[in-house]
Amino acid sequence: MELLERFAAGDLEAFEALFRAHQKEVYAWIVRIVRDRGIAEDLTVETFWRIYKSRSRFHPDGNFRAWARRIATNAALDHLRAARRETELPEDLASAATADPAVGRETRERIKQAFFQLPAKYRLVATLALIEAEPYEKIAEAAGISAALVKVRVFRAVRILRKKLNSLSAEVGAK
Amino acid sequence: MSNEENNKEIKELLQQALTPLKDTELRRDLWPQMLRKLDEQPSRVPWFDWALAGILGATLFLFPGAIPALLYHL
């Protein structure tokens, strides 16, 4: 019996083989969305837990990698929704280490503040499309939406960021 | 400034404030953590099984005469 068939039938050894084969890829996808190593590790385990729970719905002829990425994207999106309710600004993995000195610290903080306040579904596509420069088609497949909708969400995210930056600038100017 | 230029400026600002992640390498094997999660999950009984058990219990309580018939069919 093939590995995917054994996995779909509930074989734990087959699941372990799939876990070991795909954990790095799933983690790499999630960490680029949530931008925090510890959270990405937890979400990778959560993703495979969801995969294991819904194994009976997986068709062995299907694309496991694409299925796993979709579940990983949903897990990351759930995290972004929950994290948005928290008020504290998270420390970003890349910006802390590789901040561009040409851009003022205050401007960076303002754009980060505005970015972390974006609704989760816009933050997801904005991170992948604008920061990580992933193609719209790949984002669409992972998020389970059309490429056109990804484009719309990116456009709306940019519009929200522009408005928030303008209002933050006005607040700073008024002080 | 046109909308297009304004959007481009926002994108550039965003890319400067939040740069792409270069190191996305997983630094440890997560299988032991996965096994712990699998072990932690209690075997939960689906809600509809509880509902069926409740309906059956209520039926037998209200119609005790059905008990022999039920035992006969088991």
Residue B72 confidence (pLDDT): 83
A130:B11 CB<8 A: yes
Residue A110 and residue B14 in contact, taking contact as beta carbons nearer than 8 Å? no
Pairs across A and B, CB distance < 8 A? 103
Average pLDDT over residues A169-173: 61
The residue type at B35: L
Which token pair is A32?
């680029």
Q: Residue B43: closest CA among chain A residues belongs to which residue? A: A53
**B48 Cα to chain A: minimum distance (Å):** 18
A158-170 confidence digits (pLDDT tens): 999 988 888 766 6
Q: Which residues of B touch A (CB under 8 A)?
A: 6-7, 10-11, 13-22, 24-31, 33-34, 37-38, 41
| Nearest neighbour of B14 by CB, restricted to A27, A41, A115 | A115
Pick from A29-43, A62-76, A148-162, B32-46: least confident: B32-46
SS3 (DSSP) at A83: helix
Residue B68 confidence (pLDDT): 87
Residue with tokens 């630094």: B27
B37-60 confidence digits (pLDDT tens): 999 876 667 788 888 899 989 998
Alpha helices (H) in chain A, listed in sequence order: 3-8, 12-34, 37-53, 64-84, 93-98, 105-116, 120-126, 136-143, 147-174
- The model's confidence at residue A95, banded by pLDDT at 50, 70 and 90, is low
A129-142 confidence digits (pLDDT tens): 999 999 999 999 99
